[in-house]
A and B are shown apart, each in its own frame.
Chain A
Amino acid sequence: MAHELLKRIRVAVLGVVLAGAAQVATCAESIVLASTTSTEQSGLFGHILPIFEKTSGISVKVVALGTGQALDVGRRGDADALLVHDRAAEDKFVAEGYGSYRRDVMYNDFVVVGPTADPAAVKASSDTSDAFRRIAGKGATFISRADKSGTHAAELRFWKAAAIEPVGQFWYKEAGTGMGPTLNMAAGVDAYTLSDRGTWANFKNRQNLAILYAGDPKLFNPYGAILVNPDRHPHVKKAAAERFIDWLTSDAGREAIASYRIGGEQLFFPSPR
């Protein structure tokens, strides 16, 4: 009798699992987009993807990673398209034949975030290099993404431009994590960090943090879309992925990107043609 009961439970549970698997197998056409934590955590995809899905019938599955990791996923052929923000690494990706082409999609900017008390007087900086020199000069705690993301690559460029080698300094903490967790850490210990504006605008656990420096043209943060090369990875859904990239750079896509706002503030700007 007990055997029978166990059997019945097993059959029921298996049924549920198989139903779930079947549901997964029958879904409509979809592509995998490897993208950055900044675009996901800023809420941009939640705004633009439903618009694209409605017009095209293609669902876009976003895997949000740092730019370095997203490029790596593309290199392995585990995504159909990429939307990332590290121009030098993107060009290398295409040049090496992993991507078919790259298109400018949109941009926003990086912001230097820190405690409102501003012990390093970053607010008075004349430019980005000056802001970074002030943080280093004061020995104020700075939290680095240190995860090979686009923001991390930009941060390293800014240190280099300021002629400072931060790695190994007592005030320089390498978190090795996404933008949101890095901001959580900075908020927890009143530290400085570099953030993209999108993630910052949608970030809720700010505590004492505020934008202390922004507006330098060097803080420009462009995003590019790349089609993963179908010649190298034949399973790439070329037609659907191209349709998405075409849409992103079309009038409809540009309008969708420009219309995403948090508290009235526009977070991403379509790239000039």
Chain B
Amino acid sequence: MFASTLTDAVRLLATFDHRVAEIVGLSLQVSGGAVVLGTLIGLPLGASIAVGRFPGKAGVSVLINALMGLPSVVVGVVVYLLLSRSGPFGAFGLLYTPLAMVAAQTLLVVPLMAAIARQVVEDAWQRYAEELQVMRFTWWQSVSTLLHDCRHSLLVAVLAGLGRAMSEVGAVMIVGGNIDRATRVMTTAIALETSKGDLPLAIALGIVLIVLILALNAVAFGLRHWAMRRYG
């Protein structure tokens, strides 16, 4: 049973059609958008917590670490209630659109990326704190300098965010609605095909998703090496 499912899956991949390409494209747009927003919000947030000295810092660090385990389905329900026509942001009509999916995935990846950034930057901060203080850097200068110095290590935070966004199904299913040709992404398509009992197609789409994430990671790895050689 399992072996025949796998061979069926490989055969389906050979007949890779444009519908699958559309779904892959939307997955990349939605998760890519969430990771860009997550990078712009999560990394400075994590670095600020690492550098800042404020009461309750340990508590905030624990909280942001814990939020890495935020269940995607909970985020889905919360964003649904916010964007629903009967909710506070209902007037914008964003529910069941890709923008709603980007919003939900951003909420999911921000804590994850901030938590990793906090750890990476804190380790660097402990090494350079004295120098930066001697140079009379302001708080923001310290944050941006450390983010810049740690950029190669922080790539892991970006990749972790990308992995989480691409692989989650709970949030996009609820706020996107898995609408054909509108909000269907890789994971919701896999869930739908599993529901139909079409396990070979579900596995085939799963293979596409894994290969895609692998390829994105390979590109990031290559870019990092190229950038390190070229720009140091």
Q: Is A20 an interface residue (CB 8 A)?
A: yes
**Interface-lining segment among A9-17, A85-93, A139-147, A214-222:** A9-17
Total number of A residues with any Cβ neighbor in B under 8 Å: 42
> Do the beta carbons of A14 and B36 come within 8 Å of each other?
yes
In the bound complex, residues from chain B placing their C-beta under 8 Å from that of A46 are: 180
Given A17-B36, A63-B177, A233 contacting B85 (CB threshold 8 A): yes
Among candidates A16, A20, A41, A59, residue contacting B195 with C-beta atoms closer than 8 Å: A41
- What is the chain A residue whose CB lies nearest that of B90? A77
Q: Shortest Cβ distance from B155 into chain A, in angstroms? A: 11
Find residues 169-210 in chain A having any chain B CB closer than 8 Å to their own CB: 178-181, 183-184, 187, 202-206
> Do the beta carbons of A20 and B197 come within 8 Å of each other?
no
How many pairs of A and B residues are in contact by the CB < 8 Å rule?
A: 94
Find residues 83-135 in chain B having any chain A CB closer than 8 Å to their own CB: 84-86, 90, 93, 95-99, 102
> Do the beta carbons of A2 and B197 come within 8 Å of each other?
no
Among candidates A1, A20, A180, residue contacting B29 with C-beta atoms closer than 8 Å: A20
> Do the beta carbons of B196 and A61 come within 8 Å of each other?
no
- What is the chain A residue whose CB lies nearest that of B197? A205
> Do the beta carbons of B36 and A10 come within 8 Å of each other?
yes
> Do the beta carbons of A61 and B179 come within 8 Å of each other?
yes
> Do the beta carbons of A180 and B195 come within 8 Å of each other?
yes
In the bound complex, residues from chain A placing their C-beta under 8 Å from that of B195 are: 37, 41, 178-181, 184
- What is the chain A residue whose CB lies nearest that of B102? A17
- What is the chain A residue whose CB lies nearest that of B35? A13
Residue among A2, A10, A16, A179 with the highest chain B CB neighbour number at 10 A: A2
Compute how far the CA of A32 lies from the CA of B85 in the bound complex, rounded to whole angstroms.
13
In the bound complex, residues from chain B placing their C-beta under 8 Å from that of A205 are: 197-199
Compute how far the CA of A29 lies from the CA of B102 in the bound complex, rounded to whole angstroms.
22
In the bound complex, residues from chain B placing their C-beta under 8 Å from that of A21 are: 98-99
* Main secondary structure on A side of the interface with B: helix
Given A21-B99, A77-B86, A206 contacting B179 (CB threshold 8 A): no
Residue among A30, A61, A203, A206 with the highest chain B CB neighbour number at 10 A: A61
Total number of B residues with any Cβ neighbor in A under 8 Å: 35
Residue among A46, A64, A202 with the highest chain B CB neighbour number at 10 A: A64
> Do the beta carbons of B196 and A41 come within 8 Å of each other?
yes
In the bound complex, residues from chain B placing their C-beta under 8 Å from that of A45 are: 180
Q: Is B2 an interface residue (CB 8 A)?
A: no
- Interface digits, B20-60 against A, CB 8 Å rule (1 contact, 0 not)? 00000010010011001000000000000000000000000
Q: Shortest Cβ distance from B188 into chain A, in angstroms? A: 11
Find residues 138-165 in chain B having any chain A CB closer than 8 Å to their own CB: 148, 151
Among candidates A5, A20, A40, A76, residue contacting B84 with C-beta atoms closer than 8 Å: A76
Compute how far the CA of A78 lies from the CA of B181 in the bound complex, rounded to whole angstroms.
19
Among candidates A37, A63, A181, residue contacting B179 with C-beta atoms closer than 8 Å: A63
Can you list 7 A-B pairs, Cβ within 8 angstroms, ordered by A?
A1-B231, A6-B151, A17-B29, A61-B177, A180-B197, A181-B195, A205-B198
Task: Beyond the given A21-B99, A78-B86, A204-B198, please list 15 additional residue pairs across the A-B interface where CB-CB is below 8 A.
Answer: A2-B227, A5-B227, A13-B36, A16-B29, A17-B32, A17-B102, A41-B192, A45-B180, A64-B178, A77-B86, A180-B194, A180-B197, A204-B197, A233-B85, A235-B93
- B: which residues have CB within 8 A of A? 26, 29, 32-33, 36, 84-86, 90, 93, 95-99, 102, 148, 151, 177-183, 192, 194-199, 227, 231-232
